[in-house]
Amino acid sequence: MEKSRLALALILLGGFLVTSDATTATPSLNFTSEGGWGPTTPPGRVTHKVIEKEEDEDDVSATELGCPPLGLESLKVDDTQIQASSFQRFGLGPHRGRLNIQSGIEDGDLYDGAWCADYKDRHQWLEVDALHLTRFTAVILQGRNTIWRQDWVETYKVQLSNDSISWKSCMNGTQEAIFEGNKDPESPVLGVLPVPVVARYIRINPQSWFHEGDICLRAEILGCRVDEPHSAKDTEPKDALDFRHHNYKEMRKLMKTVSEECPDITRIYTIGKSYMGLKLYVMEISDNPGKHELGEPEFRYVAGMHGNEVLGRELVLNLMQYICREYKKGNQRIVRLVTETRIHLLPSMNPDGYEVAYKKGSELAGWGEGRYTFEGIDLNHNFPDLNNIMWDAQEEADDPSKVPNHYIPIPEYYTKEDALVAPETRAVISWMQDIPFVLSANLHGGELVVTYPYDGTRGWAPKENTPTTDNAFFRWLSTVYASTNLAMANPERRICHYEDFQAYNNIINGGAWHTVPGSMNDFSYMHTNCFEVTVELSCDKFPHASELPTEWENNKESLIIYMEQVHRGIKGVVRDKETKKGIVDAVIKVEDHGHDIRSAADGDYWRLLNPGEYKVVVWAEGYFPSMRHCHVGMEPRATVCDFSLTQTPVQRLKEIRAKGGKIPQDLQLRLRALRLRKLRASTKAINRRREGQRMQREQGRKARSPGRL
Ligand SMILES: [Zn+2]
């Protein structure tokens, strides 16, 4: 932690200056009494205060709380380190008293949403053993997570101990400190110790609680280890990357720096703007940035569609720094990846939401703040639901195999100006259309699992296993990420919240977990050629900055090896036998795989497949179909299967008649293109209107304060 930032953490509380790293160094306390269980004289009341950010925030990081969390939320603190005076049942035991822990829908199982004391009196406590002498600086409290009850703690005391036998109350001057807790079950509330105290054990001791509820809480403790090993060798991460949380301006600056460091292989571009006008920046990495090369597959990572799930954003920023440096160093694996792949990295799909979470900081953002866009839209439900359109059509058809299984057009309602489609979603749909992406991952947080399509379920059932016809390959893709991720693959790890994904090797069909109608994964697979999975990167949606080097190590290999999977299966170019020109929109059909893909503008195509022997048929409007047997090996190197198609006599005649006029495409393609044009037209109209409103506001503001510069 940088000392300069600590200045921000100095908070004046009721006349007490809360000290930070720079000023305290008391190694231990002399305990003189049993601790403050007796009746109290008028208590010294400590009010919580939300730390405000400074006006000029250009170079100021998120809210700093002095010391990092011990890790009740991140699970760094083990279950055995948490004890309690009593608990109602195992599912509400002390190990559940962790900030932001989530419970299942039903109460009463092993995984309820808080620690709940068995008695309602003032002698209840939750105890945390920090294992080392620790300078405790603050407590963060939250109520119980359940939709059926209302439980939270309104005021509490804090006790400290070196041996867990004799306890001393946290004092506010000469009086026992009383901390203000929660007013609702969800919002985390910070209680700063009037003076930091060095000890090994800490207790939270509720004094009053919501009158209709029980004594239930979730907590985090902030503290700095006193005997922290300061040898730089032990703590310095292997890759010296910019490990911190980057707000919008800092993100832009970092991307610019990377681009300046590696001008030959990078290009920054934008795909649109958020509702509040923040640009959606993409970093392109390729040996020929700015253009599609014939036969070279395109890959993308999308992070931050839920603005408060921030780890993906930082990992993607780390990844661009890492690739740039390793490429320059001549790391053969990275050089090969960059030379043979066109990589696109979108670190923040929902920058408006991110800024909301960032302002609260890693411990106080809670579970939901910043998830949605400024308009309140959940972007992962905002793509058109093409699943049910296809499933309904299959049900009604005499021969379901004749129903189109790919390139499903956007429905008409979705293209309207008043459709509830976020500008962020519109931007990403256009982007997906412009670039012939082959493979992608959508980075989220709050769990440790990789999910693969479909996310949608038939008739929007809450849960249903809905595998695609490419299920085996999607499971391979998910396994590649999950089995190389050090956090997921750790057999010792405990479950994040209430679901045990280790039982499924940390991968699961999206619909089998919970339905997500209108997800980006499903849209990508059904509307374009691109295969996409969702990676839930960590139990904690907003890890503390000090966790970022570890999280990079956890994900580094996974992020790289996943990109390399874009080189699996078969690829090639579909050409006109006579003219040798590439044929766009040719259909590539693999026998026994009920999901076709199409060739890109130059006739090149990529078909992701597991190792095996395949019968591949290619056809295009006006051509005779062509068939080939293609072999896919074990190594990640696509087998080249080119096709030359012969025009049908009817087509020749047509072309002669049209004398170079437009060749009519099949109906579905025309409809797909038409709908996309309509969506883009409505996006333009919305942008024009919003720009007008913005300018009006701007003029109004200027008119009101004419003297201001
Ligand atoms: Zn998410």
Question: Could you report the per-residue pLDDT of 132-141, keeping only the tens digit for each?
Answer: 999 999 999 9
Q: Which residues are catalytic?
A: 536
Q: What gap in Å lies between CA 255 and CA 247, rounded to an integer?
A: 12
**Distance (Å) from CA 271 to ligand 1 centroid:** 21
Amino acid identity, residue 594? G
Q: What gap in Å lies between CA 1 and CA 227, rounded to an integer?
A: 16
Amino acid identity, residue 510? G
Q: Is the pLDDT of residue 706 over 80?
A: no
Entry pTM: 0.85
- Contact yes or no for 347/281 (Cβ under 8 A): yes
Residues around the ion ligand 1 (C-beta < 5 A) = 306, 309, 444
- 512: Cβ–Cβ under 8 A, 6 or more apart, which residues? 463, 464, 465, 466
Worst-scoring range by mean pLDDT, 7-16, 145-154, 444-453, 527-536?
7-16
Question: Could you report the per-residue pLDDT of 480-531, keeping only the tens digit for each?
Answer: 999 999 999 999 999 999 999 999 999 999 999 999 999 999 999 999 999 9
Model confidence at 667, pLDDT cuts 50, 70, 90, reads: confident
Model confidence at 702, pLDDT cuts 50, 70, 90, reads: confident
Three-class DSSP labels, 397-437: CCCHHHCCCCCCCCCHHHHCCCCCCCHHHHHHHHHHHHCCE
- Contact yes or no for 153/218 (Cβ under 8 A): no
**Distance (Å) from CA 444 to ligand 1 centroid:** 4
Q: Is the pLDDT of residue 16 over 60?
A: no
**Distance (Å) from CA 701 to ligand 1 centroid:** 37
**Distance (Å) from CA 491 to ligand 1 centroid:** 24
* Of residues 24, 361, 74, 23, the one with CA closest to residue 190: 361
**Distance (Å) from CA 440 to ligand 1 centroid:** 16
- Contact yes or no for 308/263 (Cβ under 8 A): no
Share of the chain above pLDDT 90, in %: 79
**Distance (Å) from CA 108 to ligand 1 centroid:** 26
Worst-scoring range by mean pLDDT, 11-25, 483-497, 548-562, 625-639?
11-25
pLDDT of residue 673: 87
Model confidence at 105, pLDDT cuts 50, 70, 90, reads: confident
Share of the chain above pLDDT 70, in %: 87
**Distance (Å) from CA 603 to ligand 1 centroid:** 36
Q: What gap in Å lies between CA 513 and CA 371, rounded to an integer?
A: 19
Supply the mean pLDDT for the chain. Answer: 88
Question: End-to-end CA distance of the chain, in Å?
Answer: 36
Worst-scoring range by mean pLDDT, 149-158, 400-409, 448-457, 643-652?
643-652
Q: Is the pLDDT of residue 46 over 90?
A: no
**Distance (Å) from CA 306 to ligand 1 centroid:** 5
Q: Looking at residues 384-389, what average pLDDT do you find?
A: 95
**Distance (Å) from CA 307 to ligand 1 centroid:** 8
- 52: Cβ–Cβ under 8 A, 6 or more apart, which residues? none
Model confidence at 705, pLDDT cuts 50, 70, 90, reads: low
Q: Which two tokens stand for residue 570?
A: 């078969």
Q: Looking at residues 401-405, what average pLDDT do you find?
A: 89
pLDDT of residue 228: 64
Model confidence at 5, pLDDT cuts 50, 70, 90, reads: very low
- Contact yes or no for 114/92 (Cβ under 8 A): yes
**Distance (Å) from CA 50 to ligand 1 centroid:** 26
- CA distances 572 to 42, 462, 516, 524, 588, Å, are 80, 40, 34, 21, 10
Model confidence at 615, pLDDT cuts 50, 70, 90, reads: very high
